[in-house]
Amino acid sequence: MNNLLILIQCKDKVGLVTDITRILALHKLNIIAMREFVDETENKFFTRIACSGIITDKLVLKQELIAVLPIEAKVNLVTKKEKNIAVLVTKEFHCLADLLVRAHFKTLGAVVKCVIGNHSTLQEFAEKMGVPFFYVAHENKSKADFEREMVQLLINYELDYIVLAKFMRILSPEFIQQYPNKIINIHHSFLPAFVGASPYRQAFERGVKIIGATAHFVTNNLDEGPIINQQTIHVNHTLNAKQMAIGGREIEKAVLSKALEQVLEDRVFISGNKTIVFE
Amino acid sequence: MNNLLILIQCKDKVGLVTDITRILALHKLNIIAMREFVDETENKFFTRIACSGIITDKLVLKQELIAVLPIEAKVNLVTKKEKNIAVLVTKEFHCLADLLVRAHFKTLGAVVKCVIGNHSTLQEFAEKMGVPFFYVAHENKSKADFEREMVQLLINYELDYIVLAKFMRILSPEFIQQYPNKIINIHHSFLPAFVGASPYRQAFERGVKIIGATAHFVTNNLDEGPIINQQTIHVNHTLNAKQMAIGGREIEKAVLSKALEQVLEDRVFISGNKTIVFE
Amino acid sequence: MNNLLILIQCKDKVGLVTDITRILALHKLNIIAMREFVDETENKFFTRIACSGIITDKLVLKQELIAVLPIEAKVNLVTKKEKNIAVLVTKEFHCLADLLVRAHFKTLGAVVKCVIGNHSTLQEFAEKMGVPFFYVAHENKSKADFEREMVQLLINYELDYIVLAKFMRILSPEFIQQYPNKIINIHHSFLPAFVGASPYRQAFERGVKIIGATAHFVTNNLDEGPIINQQTIHVNHTLNAKQMAIGGREIEKAVLSKALEQVLEDRVFISGNKTIVFE
Amino acid sequence: MNNLLILIQCKDKVGLVTDITRILALHKLNIIAMREFVDETENKFFTRIACSGIITDKLVLKQELIAVLPIEAKVNLVTKKEKNIAVLVTKEFHCLADLLVRAHFKTLGAVVKCVIGNHSTLQEFAEKMGVPFFYVAHENKSKADFEREMVQLLINYELDYIVLAKFMRILSPEFIQQYPNKIINIHHSFLPAFVGASPYRQAFERGVKIIGATAHFVTNNLDEGPIINQQTIHVNHTLNAKQMAIGGREIEKAVLSKALEQVLEDRVFISGNKTIVFE
């Protein structure tokens, strides 16, 4: 008996659920949990089906599903295996530490294969946690060279996702295009407010009464990729920008780890510049 | 073209989703949104399917569904119609006013057929909003007589639900049994804490840092029926019991109106002493 | 025995609290609650002192306080009286109804002297609640004329605040300057995100996972005045722009009524483009 | 120039703020931030005053303050020094790891002098973080002996607080009385609901729609000490008791670290079975 996750994303048409579930029944797969969503604006269909049963031939099942689905359907059959991630950091510890502690105690749902830092600040901690840390300075070299160094490290691992855990360099489109839908960033504001540098400084100057954090996939446009998860907390006049940043750490790490959990459990579909998240 | 809501609650078995969706396909019903849940502890299956299509014979459809379901399945085919409710109150205005304002502007999802108060405090407001108000004093009579008076008013309406909107009398099992799974109460604490009288007084004396509200179905056991919705808000040492009660109004009315929305949209299943709420 | 609220806003200097409290002691005023804040960036001092005692001569007390404070100090001695507000609306009922219900049951902390609508949609409700409603259409006239009509109505009341309760017209600087720090708006987004028109449409298109509301004082720059209160709630992919707008109503009215409560209790100081809110 | 924190707790009387601030002025201490609270029910006064200045003689200042205060006033003059804590654990890692990571990166506001576990599960992690771990098994010995072993370890450190970070043994009154107002526990429910063992099991069985966590001082009565901080999060029917426990970890560690921050910054006063928390 295996567990199988079936992820389908295609144009919508009448009868999709029936067609899909009929095929599963023929394969004697039992549906444990099923979520579906129709985006009526875009006429798109999404489903995530967890089933159990004896899966003799995944390829046959996939072909049978594709046969009843509209053309250009994306069908993904996932049998549970631990995913691999790399984490990029600068100096701030809180997001990285949160991920490494979870990984250490086997509750992250992924193995952290390596950490790359453009400062060496977090090297000691990563190594204490038993994770290889590579210090790749960004100084005195071109962005292209900086990124090439990172890529040469990253290609050593079969990575499912790259997590920017308060990595304070802007990645080039060339880098990003090598990892489509695979780079997840935590931005320290409730996007689309306060894009770019120093969001807490901007928040302080605007006099907002909430601060927040946003986890999103990284695309070519800075801070404009598909949002996975966001949260806000209340602040007041007594906090300056630095104190907001300290308070914001708590929500940054909470939002990042929640988003990562959702992604690693294959609950997140990307559709244009949005996400569908089956909770 | 009609919209049909199919609500099914039964013992779980392999292939239920497939069997159900196959029947819908045969009737050329298109699934717009489908939610299902398997309670593994109780081995129960629940589904809420919104579909569209030309429904020629609801009875035939229902019988075909029952034929493929385990015995004692509850199948409910709902074609949208506005539901009817009655509201029982005492003196506090906030929950009643919230419901009547929504009803007045046609956003409640139900018609408030009447309000019954054991005080006349809210009569003027209810009548301003165009809703009949009946003053049924509880004083100088037995509980049985008090409740009989109310029942004689309530039987004049085809009621789907009776809402206790800060109704401060305890109803007898005899009354409650006449309306199984139909009475919804708002309790002014985060149950199971602070059952019974004066929850804000109890909260103040315990020195809690949160207060809350709970909307639940009413069963024979006071404040122990299936919970539909709960929320809490932060409080601090500066609030006394009366100030907590004032602050608590906001959350009481929010929780009640949210729970009522969920119930009126047929998103809530009762299972033993719990609810399944498809959001 | 009276209650007196002392509000002071001035440049900071050493010993202010001591100097102020010494004067209060000389007048035999007992401090019930005191809040103070020093904005170190701006070198400003703010205090709100609630005291009780027999106040024989407010003017003398004020002069004595001014004598020990830095020049240009703002000193405000408030003896409790109910404040007066006017409410400007368009078509949406939820914020107005929330305010009028509170006013009706004497829990708003202000009298609503009149409602002005640029549509007549809410006239019936306002009048049911016993509040004069003036329909001032904006069509077929210049903005100057439209606003002049409103001003001619508003000058009939000694207004403390004008509340824009989903009033969907942009007011001119000329209008706003007549009511400095007196106009409070509810904007249906978490500012500074989604300024201007159709914030829910913008939120939907961006694919955010939270929506929000912001109550702020109105200045010449649209949606850029000092923020009083903000909140967000979670949304997901299943909601379209219209459904976000419906869900957003709950938070809009909650944020507006909370902000108004804070303002009406004289808990809010304006400092530049920010607020200090003593909760 | 030093920073001094003045903490006063006494019976209330007219003029306390004036008397206190006058003394501070005589000592040329500048008030940076001041919070005060009068508990009218208990007729008690509390204040926390942060000041700066040259403090020549703390003892004289303290005596002068006591001289103007009602008898039995508690006056505490705190000059900033890092506090020392010990942490007691069983098997769960999340609260301990959160504290040790903060301590490692110098953001906890305290030094963790040692960790004691009644299981050895967390020894490796504590030692990686450079903190001594003592394994004190509770098995095959009396509670008195078990606690005596712990006390013999704890007495080696000048501890300000002992933190029970998911320590699953009930401490005896004898142990607790040795550390009055010094033991802080995180309980995995929103107290007073679900006291005692297996709160998530209780929550699951009751069918609540929220779960929570409570940080409190430990007194003789299990789970009944003064509450410092509480929070709740939403849950739904899809979670079983075990999944609630996993989700609850996030809020447990957040509540514990927030409460500890408040305690370590001397923002928390204990009054009877309640706390005053100046945020």
Mean pLDDT for A202-224 is: 94
Give the 3-state secondary structure of residue B228. strand
User: Is C70 in the same domain as C123?
Assistant: no
Would you call A12 a catalytic residue per the annotation? no
What amino acid positions of D are annotated as catalytic residues?
Answer: 223
| Domain, as residue range, for C14 | 2-79
Q: How far apart are CA B182 and CA B160, in angstroms?
A: 7
Give catalytic residues of C, as residue numbers: 223
Q: How many domains does chain A have?
A: 2
Calculate what percentage of chain D has a pLDDT beyond 70.
Answer: 99
User: What is the crossing angle of helices B16-26 and A16-26, to 10°?
Assistant: 130
What contacts B144, CB < 8 A, 6 or more positions away? Answer: B172, B174
pLDDT exceeds cutoff 90 at B237:
yes
pLDDT score recorded for residue C197: 86
Domain boundary, last residue among B20, B48, B79:
B79
Domain CATH for D251:
3.40.50.170
Whether D16 and D126 share a structural domain? no
**Option in B93, B128, B246 nearest C128 (CB):** B128
Edge to edge, the sheet with strand B44-53 lists: A74-79, A2-11, A44-53, A30-39, B30-39, B44-53, B2-11, B74-79
Residue B57, pLDDT score: 87
Residue B52 exposed, middle or buried by CB count within 10 Å (0-12, 13-18, 19+)? middle
Q: State the DSSP code for D171.
A: P
Q: At CB < 8 Å, which residues of chain D contact B?
A: 37, 39-41, 190-194, 206-210, 212, 226-232, 236-238, 240, 273-277, 279
Q: Which helix (H) or strand (E) holds D31?
A: strand D30-39
- The model's pTM is 0.96
Measured CA angle at D215 (ends C37, D114), to 5 deg: 105
Banded model confidence at residue C15, pLDDT cuts 50, 70, 90: confident
C25 contacts in D (CB within 8 Å)? 15, 18
**Sign of the Cα pseudo-torsion (C242, C247, C253, C254, in order):** negative
Identify whether residues B181 and B134 lie together within a single domain: yes
**Phi, psi at residue C233, to the nearest 5°?**
-130, 160
Interchain contact, C18 vs D14, CB within 8 Å: no
Pair of tokens at residue B250 = 């906001």
**Optimal mutation site among C93, C166, C236, C256, interface B, most CBs of chain B within 10 A:** C93
Question: Looking up tokens 């009396």, which residue turns up?
Answer: D142
Q: Which two tokens stand for residue D33?
A: 């931030």
CA angle B82, B86, B91 (to 5 degrees): 140
pLDDT surpasses 80 at D1:
no
In 3D space, the residue among A223, A217, A204 whose CA is nearest the CA of residue A274 turns out to be A217
Identify the pLDDT of residue B82.
Answer: 86
> What distance in Å separates the CA atoms of residue B268 and residue B9, rounded to the nearest whole number?
11
CA dihedral D96, D99, D101, D105 (to 10 degrees): -160
Average pLDDT over residues D26-38: 90
Contacts of C208 in chain A (CB under 8 A): 191-192, 227, 230
Alpha-carbon gap: A275 to the closest alpha carbon of chain C (Å): 7
Neighbours of chain B (3+ CB pairs under 8 A): A, C, D
- Selecting from B21, B32, B36 the residue whose C-beta is nearest the C-beta of A18 gives B21
Same domain, C75 and C187: no
Q: Which residue of C has its CA nearest to D24?
A: C18
**Mean pLDDT value of segment C251-268:** 97
Q: What is the DSSP string of C68-115?
A: HSPTT-EEEEEE---EEEEEEE-S--HHHHHHHHHHHTT-SSEEEEEE
How many CB pairs below 8 A link B and D?
A: 85
Subunit contact C227:A237, Cβ cutoff 8 A: no
Question: Looking at residue D51, which CATH number applies to its domain?
Answer: 3.30.70.260
Indicate yes or no: CB of D237 within 8 angstroms of CB of B206.
no
- Beta strands B210-217 and B227-234: pairing type? antiparallel
Distant-in-sequence, close-in-space partners of C218: CB < 8 Å, separation ≥ 6: C164, C171, C176, C183, C184, C185, C225
Question: pLDDT per residue over B134-158, tens digit each?
Answer: 999 999 999 999 999 999 999 999 9
Angle, vertex CA C243, rays to CA C238 and CA C247, nearest 5: 105
Burial label for D150, CB within 10 Å (0-12, 13-18, 19+), is: buried
pLDDT digits (tens, 9 = 90+) for A50-75: 998 888 789 999 999 999 999 999 99
Q: Are residues D100 and D149 in the same domain?
A: yes
At residue D239's C-alpha, the angle toward residues D234 and D245, to 5°, is 80
Same domain, A132 and A184: yes
CB atoms C18 and D31 under 8 Å = yes
Considering the domain architecture, whether residues A97 and A189 belong to the same structural domain is answered as: yes
Task: Mark whether A19 and A149 lie in a shared domain.
Answer: no
Q: In terms of domains, do A264 and A170 share one?
A: yes
Nearest CA in chain C to D21: C18
According to DSSP, the β-strands at A274-277 and B30-39 are unpaired
Domain C-terminal end among A79, A105, A127: A79
- Within 10 A of C19 (CB to CB), how many other CB atoms are there? 17
Q: Are residues A147 and A214 in the same domain?
A: yes
Average pLDDT value over all residues in chain C: 95
Of D59, D79, D99, the position where a domain reaches its end is D79
pLDDT digit string (tens) for C205-252?
999 999 999 999 999 887 899 999 999 999 999 999 999 999 999 999
* Mean pLDDT of the residues in chain D: 95
Instruction: Answer yes or no: do A237 and C275 touch at CB < 8 A.
Output: yes
In whole angstroms, give the CA distance from residue A34 to residue C203.
Answer: 28
Q: Spell out the SS3 assignment of A48-76.
A: EEEEEECCCCHHHHHHHHHHHCCCCCEEE
- Asked if C38's CB is within 8 angstroms of D17's CB, the reply is no
The reply to whether omega before D226 is within 30° of 0 (cis) is no
Give tens-digit pLDDT for A20-56.
Answer: 998 998 898 888 889 999 998 899 999 999 998 888 7
For residues A75 and A96, membership in a common domain is answered with no
Select the more confidently predicted residue: D40 or C129: C129
- Using CA coordinates, name the residue in chain C closest to A224: C206
How distant is the Cα of A102 from the closest Cα of chain C, in angstroms? Answer: 25
- The alpha carbon of residue D128 is apart from the nearest alpha carbon of chain A, in Å, by 6
Average pLDDT over residues B61-78: 96
Nearest-CA neighbor of A6 among A67, A74, A82?
Answer: A74
Asked if this assembly's ipTM is beyond 0.85, the reply is yes
Q: Please tell me the distance in Å from A245's CA to the nearest CA on chain B.
A: 23
**Do D121 and D206 reside in the same domain of the chain?**
yes
The pLDDT of residue B207 is above 80: yes
Q: Residue B254: its chain C contacts at CB < 8 A?
A: 250, 254
Chain B neighbors of D274, CB-CB under 8 A: 207, 237
